[in-house]
């Protein structure tokens, strides 16, 4: 293992960023990669192995974002690499059915009993977008409830921010989203059942579905309050609306069967992504057979994809999910123990430095919120000292620890992280908190 570096040279990354800015808005192909929220320039990655990233200047970093979730078995995990190589030799794509699609579907449905039938797509965005179209078709209703701080991809109707007040109609969270579309999405506070009841009372017979992250990751990590998920299930069942569990982040992460297994929840539709593709682009939407059979060619709901069920992506997914299923009894307890050690170790360093920090953690996803108060919804998270987080982030990066570049993201680790990485991370945090205090 290499020692952690201070004041790394980033000359090559800097030049690559200048070049990338000629071609891509902000120099990136997904905005969070630009490090705008924490300041500083993003290092370019050249390669990665296990828990470690190597940048274009040869600096190494312990990885706590795992490609935003997928890399739960570590980078360049040999069974995944071999599966992709083997598949590639038979051609990258056919646009016709292969046996591998049902192989991965069998694994998915075993882990997620709520998924009786499914469709593979190429991203989480496509999965949630298609699930919502299906929910609207199944109910003949238009309005969708989502929760403030939950991210479900960048489809128009899901880019709706907080509206003030319980039943306030949504406002566009992005320029270019027509108000008529945004108004069909109600954004309510998370962990607040009275707000959901009020929305159903205000829009009788008009709400098609509730979509949520059953553990929030996209406002930073926020766990569902005891009884919250069961209450959502009961309200939707009573009102004839569908419950859509967006497990793009939590699926195969918080347990093999995601949050549904962890909390004993059932859902009408489930969306998956990230881990299910083992690092290649895969999304899933699935659920109760009666709903899924409304899709073309069996039914009137259209959905399609040129590269859906792509053989390389299926191979990587099978290798990843297959490994997780075969080794769940070792992998998940190990992820829990490693995550607990690093998350609590860093929080203890903050406490001894006198820095108020709230740790929210569910298994191998967690957030250190720079705020003294409990964080149970987006408004609580938004009270965090993001400038302090930025100083923390920059110092950690300079010491060779790569955290997601925003206070409002969850950290992830994988099966390749061990005691050495934990110890190095806690030691780096001790120094980083000095930088936070120095201002």
Ligand X SMILES: *Cc1c(COP(=O)(O)O)cnc(C)c1O
For ligand X, which residue of 246, 380, 385, 421 counts as binding (CB under 6 A)? 246
367 belongs to the binding site for ligand X (CB under 6 A): no
In whole angstroms, how close is the CB of 152 to ligand X at the nearest point? 5
Specify which residues 220 forms β-bridges with.
Answer: 218
Specify whether 47 is catalytic. Answer: no
The angle at the Cα of 312, spanning 310 to 314, to the nearest 5 degrees, equals 65
Residue 104: CB partners within 8 Å, gap ≥ 6?
Answer: 120, 276, 314, 317, 318, 321
CB of 155: closest distance to ligand X in angstroms? 9
The residue with its CB nearest to ligand X is 124
Sheet holding 60-63, edge to edge: 45-49, 52-55, 60-63, 401-402
Buried b (16+ CB within 10 A) or exposed e, 335-344: bbebbebbbe
Catalytic-residue membership of 117: no
Annotate each residue in 108-127 with x if it binds ligand X (CB under 6 A) or - if it does not, as one string.
---------------xxx--
Of the candidate spans 44-52, 77-85, 245-253, 332-340, the one that interacts with ligand X by CB under 6 A turns out to be: 245-253
- Residue nearer to ligand X on the CB measure, 182 or 422: 182
Exactly one of 55, 64, 146, 151 is catalytic; name it. Answer: 151
Gap between the Cα atoms of 142 and 144, Å rounded: 7
Inter-residue contact 311 to 305 (CB < 8 Å): no
> What span, in angstroms and rounded, lies between the C-alpha atoms of 322 and 304?
26
In the window 277-296, what residues touch ligand X (CB under 6 A)?
283
Size of the site for ligand X (CB under 6 A): 15
412 belongs to the binding site for ligand X (CB under 6 A) = no
CB of 324: closest distance to ligand X in angstroms?
18
258 binds ligand X (CB under 6 A): no
Cα distances from 427 to residues 167, 376, 420, in angstroms, run 47, 29, 11
Q: Are 119 and 284 in contact, with CB atoms under 8 Å apart? A: yes
* Residue 151 in the binding site for ligand X (CB under 6 A): yes
Nearer Cβ to ligand X (324/347):
324
Active site includes 156?
no
Asked if residues 104 and 252 have their Cβ atoms less than 8 Å apart, the reply is no
According to DSSP, the residues that pair with 367 across neighbouring strands are 360
Among 249, 312, 416, 428, binds ligand X (CB under 6 A): 249
3-state secondary structure of 133: helix
Compare residues 33 and 434 and give the one whose CB is closer to ligand X: 33
For 63, the enclosing helix (H) or strand (E) is strand 60-63
Q: Does 34 bind ligand X (CB under 6 A)?
A: no
Beta strands in 283-364 (DSSP E): 283-287, 358-362
Which of 55, 246 has the CB closer to ligand X? 246
Q: Minimum distance from CB of 257 to ligand X (Å)?
A: 16
Which of 273, 286, 311, 404 binds ligand X (CB under 6 A)? It is 273
Residue 253 touches ligand X, criterion: CB under 6 A: no
139 binds ligand X (CB under 6 A): no
Taking the least distance from each CB to ligand X, the nearer of 248 and 416 is 248
Contact flag: residue 152 with ligand X (CB under 6 A): yes
CA 326 to chain centre: 23
Q: Is the omega angle on the peptide bond into residue 297 within 30 degrees of 0, that is, cis?
A: yes
Tell me the window of 210-218, 345-353, 355-363, 379-387 that interacts with ligand X (CB under 6 A): 210-218
Q: Which is nearer to ligand X, 153 or 311 (CB)?
A: 153
Q: Give the residues across from 120 on adjacent strands.
A: 284
Q: 75 or 146: whose CB is closer to ligand X?
A: 146
| Sites for ligand X among residues 212-231 (CB under 6 A) | 213, 217-218
Is 8 one of the binding residues for ligand X (CB under 6 A)?
Answer: no
Binding status of residue 248 toward ligand X by CB under 6 A: yes
Of the pair 291, 408, the CB lying nearest ligand X is at 408
| Least distance between ligand X and beta carbon 150 (Å) | 7
Token pair of 127, please? 């999965």
- Cα dihedral 155, 156, 158, 160 in deg (nearest 10): 140
Of 146, 190, 228, 246, which is the active-site residue? 246
Distance of closest approach, residue 215 Cβ to ligand X, in angstroms:
9
User: Could you give the C-alpha distances from 316 to 61, 83, 100, 131, 399, in angstroms and in order?
Assistant: 24, 6, 10, 24, 32
Residues making contact with ligand X (CB under 6 A): 123-125, 128, 151-153, 213, 217-218, 246, 248-249, 273, 283
Residues with a known catalytic role: 151, 246, 274
């Amino acid at each position: 293992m290499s020692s952690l570096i201070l004041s790394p040279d980033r000359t090559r990354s800097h030049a690559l960023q200048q070049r990338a800015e000629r071609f891509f808005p902000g120099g990136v192909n997904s905005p969070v990669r630009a490090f705008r929220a924490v300041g500083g320039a993003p290092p370019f990655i050249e390669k990665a192995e296990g828990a470690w990233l190597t940048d274009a200047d040869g600096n190494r970093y312990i990885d706590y974002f795992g490609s935003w979730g997928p890399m739960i078995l570590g980078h360049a995990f040999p069974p995944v690499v071999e599966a992709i190589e083997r598949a590639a030799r038979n051609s990258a794509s056919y646009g016709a059915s292969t046996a591998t699609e049902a192989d991965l579907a069998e694994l998915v449905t075993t882990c997620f009993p709520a998924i009786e039938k499914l469709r593979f797509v190429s991203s989480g965005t496509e999965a949630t977008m298609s699930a919502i179209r299906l929910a609207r078709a199944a109910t003949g209703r238009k309005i969708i409830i989502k929760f403030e701080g939950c991210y479900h991809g960048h489809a128009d109707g899901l880019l709706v921010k907080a509206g003030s007040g319980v039943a306030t109609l949504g406002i566009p969270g992005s320029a270019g989203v027509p108000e008529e579309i945004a108004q069909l999405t109600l954004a309510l506070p998370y962990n607040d059942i009275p707000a959901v009841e009020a929305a159903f009372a205000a829009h009788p017979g008009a709400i098609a579905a509730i979509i949520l992250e059953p553990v929030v990751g996209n406002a930073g990590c926020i766990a569902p309050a005891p009884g919250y998920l069961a209450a959502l299930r009961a309200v939707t069942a009573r009102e004839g609306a569908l419950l859509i569990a967006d497990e793009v982040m939590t699926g195969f992460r918080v347990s093999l069967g995601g949050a549904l297994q962890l909390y004993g929840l059932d859902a009408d539709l489930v969306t998956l992504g990230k881990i299910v593709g083992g690092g290649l682009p895969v999304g899933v939407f699935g659920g109760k057979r009666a709903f899924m059979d409304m899709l073309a060619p069996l039914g009137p709901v259209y959905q399609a994809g040129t590269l859906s069920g792509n053989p390389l992506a299926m191979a990587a997914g099978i290798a990843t999910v297959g490994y997780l299923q075969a080794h769940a009894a070792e992998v998940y307890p190990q992820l829990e123990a490693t995550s607990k050690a690093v998350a609590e170790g860093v929080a203890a360093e903050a406490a001894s430095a006198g820095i108020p920090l709230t740790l929210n953690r569910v298994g191998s996803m967690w957030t250190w919120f720079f705020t003294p108060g409990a964080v149970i919804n987006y408004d609580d998270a938004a009270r965090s000292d993001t400038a302090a987080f930025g100083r923390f982030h920059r110092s950690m990066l300079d010491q060779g620890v790569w955290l997601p570049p925003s206070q409002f993201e969850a950290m992830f680790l994988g099966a390749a992280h061990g005691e050495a990485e934990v110890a190095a991370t806690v030691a780096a945090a001790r120094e980083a908190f000095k930088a936070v205090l120095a201002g």
